[in-house]
Structure 1
Amino acid sequence: MRKILPFCLFLFSFYFLKSQETFPVNGSHDKRPKKYAFINAHIITKAGQSLKNATLLVNDRLIESVGAGQEVPAGYITIDLQGKFIYPSLIDPFTTYGVPENKESRAFGRAAQVLTSTKNGPYAWNEAIRPETRAIDVFAQDEKKAEQLKKIGFGAVHTIVKDGIARGSSALIALNTNKDNELVIIPDAAAQYSFDKGSAKTSYPSSLMGSIALLRQTYYDAKWYQQQKKEYNISLEAFNKWQSLPQFFEVNDVLDVLRADKIAKEFGKSYIIKTGGNDYQRIQEVKATGASLIVPLNFPKTYDVADPYEANKLSLAQLKHWELAPGNPAALEKASIPFALTASDLDNVRDFWPNLRKAIKYGLSEDAALRALTETPARLLGAGDRLGTLEKGKLASFIITSDSLFKEGNIIYENWIEGEKFIANHSSNKDLRGEYASNVDDFGAIKLLIGGKQGKYEAYISKPNDTTKIKANLVVDGDLLSLSFNPKGVKKSYRISAYIATVKPLQLKGEINREDGGTIPWSASYTGAYTEKTETKRADKPLELGKVIYPFAAYGHEQPLAAADVLLKNATVWTNEKEGILEGADVLIAGGKIKAVGKNLNASGATLIDATGKHITAGIIDEHSHIAISRGINEGTQSVTAEVRIGDIINSEDVNIYRQLAGGVTSSHILHGSANAIGGQSQLIKLRWGKSPEELKFEGSDGFIKFALGENVKQSNWGDIARVRFPQTRMGVEQVYVDAFTRAKEYKAKIAMKGSNARRDLELDALVEILDNKRFITCHSYVQSEINMLMHLADSLGFKVNTFTHILEGYKLADRMAARSIAGATFADWWAYKMEVQEAIPYNAYLMEKQGVVTAINSDDAEMARRLNQEAAKVIKYGGLTEEEAWKLVTLNPAKMLHIDNKVGSLKAGKDADVVIWSGNPLSIYARAEKTFVDGVKYWDVEEDEKIRDFQQKEKARLIAKSLEEKDKGNATQKAVEKPTIIYHCETLSGDINEDVNHN
């Protein structure tokens, strides 16, 4: 039985039951406790634990008890939930509910530069650092959005101001509709971070590496701030204050998950990372972080590929992500990675349950799904003692459903939030299914047939003794119902309003609404059960999915490639050693190293490759490259950005890695651009196609940094709007170096002082490494006068230039370079493409080489890197180098420049097995790299490439066919939009920190 208070009294009291102590009441005070007993329910207290025919007692805002066989104490309103289910209300751990949306920042590039914060007050110098922001200070409930979320089962949300890199604190909010003060569960729930500068007007950062450097520097500044009394800083004060809270970090790509984790490890933090939903693409690396994740359910819509031209725009990665994204939660569960789920990235919250059920279809267990929506978000937010499960003493936040929560067709009837009821869908406790006898006005005697599921009925009208059925519209709201139908061949519709008059037997009574506005009485009497004809349901096809490939790009492999012992027989071997070029020789690769070079070699167990007629060389080393990076090659917003690191933004999914392996390249030196005098720290990588960003890095190599001279640095071609940042002249460029190294020397002395509380400065740390010969300079250069300037400046300030790159006027001062042991990396025959290269000549490399300068030919271009062998050959034409000398320009010489010639650059026992088999003389325009080994792993094989192309062409065709099939089923589609690979050059000024996120 359900004991019901008079409806009007209940409605009156509902609004006053949770009044706050500090707020006045307009009217009589009503302090009656809200006591409810929900009996005979199937209660799921937490994932994996359920009670049948159980009772949940609620006293005011809290759960008093939950269990089976309980007596209902006196004074409780009893609600019989026979046949219904109770679950904990859901928690969304990442929303912007109730807070203002931030405005996009303008992109840096051809825009006026803003060097420091425009905010008034003692805040951080950079507007992207805004930890003083509190979501609770700008929160205001949004009843419309709250209703949408409550209808799908959410009772609480974690709300975040998504603006900036250090975003301040967030709040945990209940989705009630009381005063804002009453909704706050935790006012400062967590600290928030991202790589997105948001609405900040400050130009820095303009790149992903700049965002990372700024956040790292802020951590160090905050630590220093705690130990000083020199300045007051609202931002750093707040930054330190929030360190004891859970730390949340938003990213949009799996590689950014790994980047965020690196910062966490550096500063002893444990980030809870909100991901972009493509974590499955690097699942082992994600697992290794140990981080808990918040995972969106915004699976890509089916691509509209009806037009073959449009279909051709899509990459294999886009299509595979569309297919595999719904399996992301299941992949995390399988890997035992803790995660919560969020609806935050959905365009429409109505997609939440269809997408969640799709994730379950793709392998996510129901227990894991429930845990990810209840216990886990509560635990991550430090609210596990109040939310997430149904236990004594916790907040009375739960949902009442018609069936198992994840079952297709389940209805969420009510969502109780802290003891207050929200009706999500009206329901009746009476089961109305059956056959009824009735009479409808001039239509005559009828049978009313009610079938379907309780609470989700389907109704039909038929004549007695007639099997023809007319679909009727039936709406049930509690004990009230409305019925309408329009018979075929009759030019009128019938509308009936009725109520449940009696239960045993079931009888419906009401009125027929006539077209003339009048009404006539109507009734229907239950005559028996209605047995619906069961249709043979077509069995669903087994779920057939493609496999994840590594990297997640064209030419990726389903299984990681491994090293093998290989004996290359009977080739022309270019050793780059004193042995020179050997005819009919062999190379033995074992354990990732070159085991032996010589004739008539044998090795048991090694794979034999007949290289007769082929040429074997060491792998090409590109001293100046800009491939394999994410979201910005330049941090050109300041004159000195030595704190930024290319190593932070390595993009292992860049197809140019594979393409350059096909050109015989095995190592690339990835440089910062040339937009400022002192750019960022570079990163030497090996082209280990399929490996993670950290695994691409050349182990044990020295650190380098990019300097630059000339037009780019003084912003000659940036337009009149770029007249803010110093320097604007070549004289100013010199002064930047003088100032930077003077500051670095002072900084070095200060940090060496005993008891010094010197502020850790990442920019100056890198310059001190240069002074200490622990980091080495590669300098972008063209004009003789500037090259002279930097050499003399280095002499006077006590640092050394390792390499001048570009250096198309190197022939003018090669003797002075040689005297200082400065190397030169240049182009073979590029000239006249801007004013400062007017005096470039194609004999430059030859003349530097003959003056004793260690000389290399580099690419500075993703396309040129695929044919560096041909670029080296040009120096034979322009100057007359021997073939061996020319070949060293792209192998041994760049290895010497980069201080790795003890490991690579020549074929010698003990060196890394970075080896290329060429179809002919490697300096010939007709030669092709047939096989390229890095550390003994065959990452490129011209024959395997044909197989990969064939397989992936079929894979793409399969995915297109699957897309067409999904479209035919009526699924929502999206336009096929090409996502081209971004090619960076020295001069690229990128302003969109999020421009090339891989999973899109």
Structure 2
Amino acid sequence: MTKTLFRLLIFMCSFSLFAQDYFPSNTGVKANNSNYTAFTNATIHVTPTETIENATLLIKNGKVVSVGTSVSIPKNTTKIDLTGKSIYPSFIDIYTTFGVKKPERGGNGPRYGASRSGFYWNDHIMPEQDVMASFKYDSKTASQMHQLGFGVVNTHMPDGIARGTGALIALNNDADNSKRVVDGETTQHFSFSKSVTSRQAYPSSIMGSMALLRQMYNDANWYADGNVDTKDLALEALNGNKNLLQIFEAGSRANLMRADKVGDVSNVQYTIVGGGDEYERINEVKGTNATIILPIDFRLAYDVDNALLASTLSLSDMRAWNQEPHNPRLLAENEINFALTTHGLKSKKSFKSNLMKAIERGLSKQKALEALTTIPAGLLGKSDLLGTLKSGSYANFLITSGDIFDKKTKLFENWVQGTPHIITDMNVRDIDGDYTFKLRGNDYKLAITGSTSKPNAKLESGSNSLGTKMNYADDWINLTFKTADSLKKEFIRVVANAANGNSLDGKAILPNGNELPFYANKIQKESDKKMKDKKDMASKATDAFMSPITYPNLAFGFDEKPKSETLLFKNATVWTNESDGILENTDVLIKDGKIAKIGKDLSDRKAKVIDATGKHITAGIVDEHSHIAAASINEGGHNSSAEVTIEDVIDDEDIDIYRNLAGGVTSIQILHGSANPIGGRSAIIKLKWGESADDLVYDNSPKFIKFALGENVKQSRSNRNERFPQSRMGVEQVFMDYFSRAKAYDDAKKNGKPYRKDAEMEVLAEILNKERFISCHSYVQSEINMLMKVAEKFNFNINTFTHILEGYKVADKMKDHGAGGSTFSDWWAYKYEVNDAIPYNAAIMHNAGVVVAINSDDAEMSRRLNQEAAKSVKYGGVSEEDALKFVTLNPAKLLHLDDRVGSLKVGKDADVVLWSDHPLSIYAKAEKTIIEGITYFDIEKDKQMREAIKKEKSELVRLMLEDKNKGLKTQPIKKKEKELLHCDSMDNEHSTHNHN
């Protein structure tokens, strides 16, 4: 009673001040204060590793003067007491397009030359772009960034492969550009994506972008050495900017590795904008030594209520939802340097929630703060000005209610260059919660929300909801609500103090003017708190769960990469493909990745013994012409693309690798497509499922390139046949012109004359010097004859005519020339130039003495090449042994790999297949597919993996349903169809996100 009277006495003394709505003046510091300002009694995070309690931060003229517990405060200093509050350095976003207008798409139709003079020969190389030339400060976006804690951003022009320089901008809404621009030239930017402002056709693929970047660096060095008489503004800018931070936008783990490969060749260490999937190959990412600029655009859970739709979800997509938030933690644990960015977010508001999610998944708060402050500052060479609150640094800091990475913490103010930007009034106490009070015998329940920004009150009495209005400022509330009697339009007014945070204490003014004491008590929901604790524990348990990362990280990936074993197959029918022929009841010993012994009654104490009674063993199938396991097939921007290589775009996560293993395939040549007469270089790989892209490629791999003839290269079916050649005569002329140029280039190189290194001419010179072999896409006999004559004129040979459905017409000439033939078993009439194809083609060429292979050119056909080979037994009477060689030894010969694979011979690579039946039978299944002694496919293991996949998907569905039940957003399921690439497949507007 005494306490109540005391409160009322105080209240009555001041009642006249609060009898009407009260709006206090802002007590914060004015923006233009040029004197000292001291922030006292705060917890100050000077750096991510240095925190001072009860400290003072002294600033003047936009800079930190001093910080500590014994700071000397000059006279006339403005003091701000921050007792109970914290100060952090403002965040830095090193990768934005802030203040830059999105480039507009150029004109229609492809161009095959540059549109600019005085610049580089390719429009997509624009290192001369200066972002400040088009920069316009965006105060709206700046305010959004303020709310997230950012004080400085690095911006750039997001257009082109070489994009020019970036600039560092302080998000100071009250300054002009002369003060805001911290540094107008900080970074040089690159990507794999073409400029939208130019229609120049080249490059049309990601491998073309890689080749162009390499050539750009070659040309820049040539230019820097004074070998060019004419001025090139682009190359001058590129060379002039080489000491800046070099940033490459990759956008995926696969492209990150590709960007690093370009950098390694060109002696450039890029800082790489990642894609958030680095965790899939964390050791490879670490091996690049690159600092990662890391987006945290975590995908939403899928809406899996519809079980039928949910069944179409791939395990890789489901895993990505679960695994992506763990990516920052895994980078930190593996000591990979990274800075965080808002880049890639559809809504910047999701940055904070995604960051909190990463912290819940184990990212330490210290690492998070480093990634937002000291790391980006260090990368930009601005550690003396940004990222910390040390003396001399910019007065860029955040004032918070506590730990900045706590969900409940409020960001009050974001100071940039000593200028405050108010996010939430820190003089307003948070009084959100539920309160109860009695008034004139009636019980009331008051719910207050948004008290620190937009206060809102909801009042109930019994079952009645009462209309309510509330104002709140400086710990005082003004509440007006209707009386419980709905028939009367009468109101009760309340003025109360909320200083202690757990109650409201003041006066109620009744409709008749009488005044009553008012006291509302905040409800402490112990039971709800216990329930919340349980939910938090359950949520943390869910957060802790991470789907296993496999190799590769999708369905049928290995928990651990398989290792080479000593294997002994007993009592098999062995198809040697050697002079020994087919051996019955024979053993095969595999040791140290090689075929160690073939014979009867073999033994080895260390061997794993496999009973192969009634089964067949063959060499692994070799596919001479494939387009699986590649992210890109054609570079059609020029009529010659010898400078590109499929090795740059191997997709080590293509499920068709595993499917081919299930069909007994162990080696393939991934060929460039047939968009142009002179295509790109091949990649010859072993299907080592789970290994990285580079580790799939044959060591000491034979050098091959794809040529093409026929309808595709002269653009017979193109809507815009604007590029030369457009006739079969033109195709011949392309070869003559390019080989003449290559010969002149090679002569100059051999004579020791200075020469501009040209990757395209280097490759063509290798052909002239018989160091590189040609696989040529071909159909019509006249063109086949033409190309053999061109080759003979320049004194080299065509290694293989692939497709060659009219090979039976020119088999004698092929034999004399030394060309092999890789063909389909029975494809014909699918376009005009193959109307003369016959299923006897392979047999006729074989009987003429041509080395013949059956190829797939198709992801589905490649899984049953053994059956395709069997068709030659029916069509042409080829022996079973020779038919099997069509898909094993013969393609190995055409690829110059027959000393290593293609037959079962002691000393050769242990690339073998155990078949359940006769290998040419439609009933035969590959039970084990082994490469270099490592079992990459096992039919029994496959069954176990299918069960494990089913179980993992069920668990992920359960977790997604939990997310939805918590009220979290979900995304709809969109059924995806895997694109199967062929000779004529072209990249869709190649971007950094389409080649994962």
TM-score (normalised: structure 1): 0.90
**Alignment correspondent of 1:904:** 901
Q: Distance in 1 between matches of 2:629 and 2:219?
A: 31
Q: Evaluate the alpha carbon distance shift between residue 774 and residue 447 of structure 1 in structure 2; reply closer, same or farther with a 3 A threshold.
A: closer
In structure 2, the CA distance between the partners of 1:526 and 1:91, relative to structure 1 (3 Å rule), is farther
Change (3 A) 1:882 1:637: same
For 2:430 and 2:342, the matched residues in 1 are separated by 33
Aligned to 2:10: none
Q: Call closer, same or farther: CA 1:984–1:167 in 2, change over 3 Å.
A: same
CA shift for structure 1 position 544: 2.1
Aligned twin of 2:958: 961
| Partner in structure 1 of residue 3 of structure 2 | none
1:639 lines up with 2:639 in the alignment: yes
Q: Partner letter of residue 50 of structure 1?
A: T
CA distance in 2: counterparts of 1:446 and 1:922, whole angstroms = 84
Partner of 1:3: none
Change (3 A) 1:524 1:735: farther
Instruction: Give the match for residue 736 of structure 1.
Output: 734
CA contact (8 A) 1:914 1:935 kept: yes
CA distance in 1, matches of 2:490, 2:565: 79
**2:800 paired residue among 800, 803, 818:** 803
Alignment of 1:835-846 (within 5 A): 835-846=832-843
In structure 1, the partner of 2:19 is none
Aligned positions of 1:6-85 closer than 5 A: 14=31, 17=32, 33-85=34-86
What is the match of residue 9 of structure 2?
A: none
Q: Deviations over 1:89-127 (max 9, x none)?
A: 011121111101234679xxxx84311233x44222322
Which deviates more from structure 2 when the two are superposed, residues 244-253 or residues 505-514? Answer: 505-514
Which residue matches 1:381?
Answer: 380
Q: C-alpha displacement at 1:991, in angstroms?
A: 2.6
Show the counterpart of 1:589.
590
1:472-621 → structure 2 map (5 Å cutoff): 476-478=472-474, 481-483=477-479, 533=526, 535-536=529-530, 537-539=532-534, 540-541=537-538, 542=541, 543-621=544-622
**CA, structure 1 residues 313+970, in 2 after alignment: closer, same or farther (shift >3 Å)?**
same
Which one is further off, 337-346 or 658-667? 337-346
State the match for 2:293 in structure 1: 294
* Closer, same or farther: CA 774–964 of 1 in aligned 2, 3 Å: same
Q: Which residue of 1 aligns with 2:5?
A: none
What is the CA–CA distance in structure 2 between the aligned matches of 1:152 and 1:572, rounded to whole Å? 69
Distance in 1 (CA, whole Å) between partners of 2:76 and 2:757 is 65
Q: Does the 8 A contact of 1:657 with 1:689 survive in 2? A: yes
Q: 1:462 to 1:674 in 2, by over 3 A?
A: closer
Give the corresponding residue for 2:969.
972
Residue 48 of structure 1 deviates from its aligned partner by 2.5
The question of whether the paired residues in 2 share the 8 Å contact of 1:402 and 1:455 is answered with: no
- 1:246–1:272 CA contact under 8 A, matched in 2: yes
Q: Contact 2:476/2:498 (CA < 8 Å) preserved in 1?
A: no
Contact 1:619 1:932 in 2 (8 A): yes
Q: Deviations over 1:354-396 (max 9, x none)?
A: 1111111111111111111111111112221210111011111
Q: Superposed, which structure 2 residues align to 1:364-403 within 5 Å?
A: 364-403=363-402
Distance 1:192 1:324 in 2: 29
Question: What is the Cα deviation at residue 717 of structure 1?
Answer: 1.4
Corresponding residue for residue 212 of structure 1: 210
Aligned amino acid, residue 100 of structure 2? V
Q: CA 1:9 to 1:862, structure 2 compared with 1: closer, same or farther past 3 Å?
A: closer
How do residues 882-961 of structure 1 correspond to structure 2 at under 5 angstroms? 882-961=879-958
In structure 1, distance between residues paired with 2:802 and 2:263: 35
Residue type of the partner of 2:178? Answer: N
CA contact under 8 A between 2:208 and 2:644: conserved in structure 1? yes
Q: Distance in 1 between matches of 2:775 and 2:557?
A: 33
Report the CA distance shift for 1:36/1:513 in structure 2 as closer, same or farther (over 3 A).
Answer: farther
In the alignment, is the contact (CA less than 8 A) between 1:677 and 1:708 conserved in 2?
yes
One-letter code aligned to 2:67: V
Q: Distance in 2 between the 1:436 and 1:624 partners? A: 75
Q: Distance in 2 between matches of 1:813 and 1:317?
A: 48
- Which stretch shows the higher mean deviation, 828-837 or 392-401? 828-837
Alpha carbon RMSD of aligned pairs, Å? 3.2
Partners of 1:749 and 1:804 in 2: how far apart? 29
Shift in alpha-carbon separation, 1:42–1:569, aligned structure 2, 3 A: same
Q: Could you tell me how far apart the structure 1 residues matched to 2:964 and 2:504 are?
A: 45
User: What secondary structure sits across from 2:378 in the alignment?
Assistant: helix
After the TM superposition, which residues 329-340 of structure 1 pair with which residues of structure 2 at under 5 Å, given as runs? 329-340=328-339
Secondary structure of the residue aligned to 1:801 is coil
Cα 1:314–1:122 shift into 2, 3 Å? same
1:266 aligned partner: 265
Cα distance in 2, alignment partners of residues 37 and 526 from structure 1: 38
Name structure 2 gaps, 5 residues minimum. 1-23
2:15 alignment partner in structure 1: none
Residue 677 (str. 1) matches residue 677 (str. 2): yes
Cα distance 1:879–1:144, how it changes in 2: closer, same or farther (>3 A)? same
1:476-497 Cα deviation digits (max 9, x unpaired): 4556655466777757796969
Distance 1:39 1:691, change over 3 A: same
1:95 paired to 2:96: yes
Contact 1:434 1:526 (C-alpha < 8 Å) held by counterparts: no
Tell me how far 1:838 sits from its aligned partner. Answer: 1.8
Letter in 2 for 1:319: M
Match of 2:245 in 1: 246
Per the TM alignment, residue 297 of structure 1 is displaced from its structure 2 partner at its CA by 1.3
**Amino acid across the alignment from 1:58:** I
Please identify, of 706-715 and 497-506, the stretch whose mean Cα deviation from structure 2 is larger.
497-506
Matched, 1:768 2:769: no
Asked if structure 2 preserves the Cα contact closer than 8 Å seen for 1:506 and 1:525, the reply is: no
| 4+ residue runs over 3 A deviation | 6-11, 103-106, 429-440, 442-463, 466-514, 519-534, 752-755, 994-999
CA-to-aligned-CA distance 1:909-937 (integer Å, 9 cap, x gap):
11111110001110111111111001111
Given that 2:624 and 2:853 are in contact with CA atoms closer than 8 Å, whether structure 1 keeps it comes out as yes
Q: Structure 1 pair 267/337, CA: closer, same or farther in 2 (3 Å)?
A: same
Return the offset for 1:457: 9.3
Give the whole-Å Cα distance in 2 for the aligned partners of 1:557 and 1:501. 60
Q: How many residues align?
A: 961
* Matching residue of 2:690: 690
Q: Deviations over 1:434-470 (max 9, x none)?
A: 9999998x9999898989999999988799xx99999
Return the offset for 1:319: 0.8
Matched position secondary structure for 1:213: helix
- How far is the alpha carbon of 1:205 from its aligned partner? 1.5
In structure 1, the residue matched to 2:785 is: 788
Distance 1:342 1:824 in 2: 53
Q: Show the counterpart of 1:180.
A: 177
The 2-side partners of 1:521 and 1:388 are apart by: 58
Does structure 2 conserve the Cα–Cα contact (< 8 Å) formed by 1:439 and 1:523? no
Q: Secondary structure at the match of 1:244?
A: coil
Which amino acid in 1 is paired with 2:676?
A: N
Unmatched 5+ stretches in structure 1 = 1-5, 18-31
Q: How far, CA to CA, are the matches of 1:445 and 1:457 in structure 2?
A: 22
Deviation by residue 1:110-151 (Cα, 9 ceiling, x = unmatched): x84311233x44222322211111212111111111111101
Pair 283,436 (structure 1): closer, same or farther in 2 beyond 3 Å: closer
Q: Name the amino acid aligned to 1:674.
A: S
C-alpha change, 1:482 and 1:660, in structure 2 (3 Å) is farther
SS at match of 2:327: helix
Indicate if the aligned counterparts of 2:779 and 2:803 stay in contact, CA closer than 8 A.
yes
- Percent identity between matched residues is 45
For residues 157 and 146 of structure 1, the distance between their equivalents in structure 2, rounded to whole angstroms, comes to 9
Question: SS where residue 254 of structure 2 aligns?
Answer: helix
* Stretch moving more, 744-753 or 652-661: 744-753
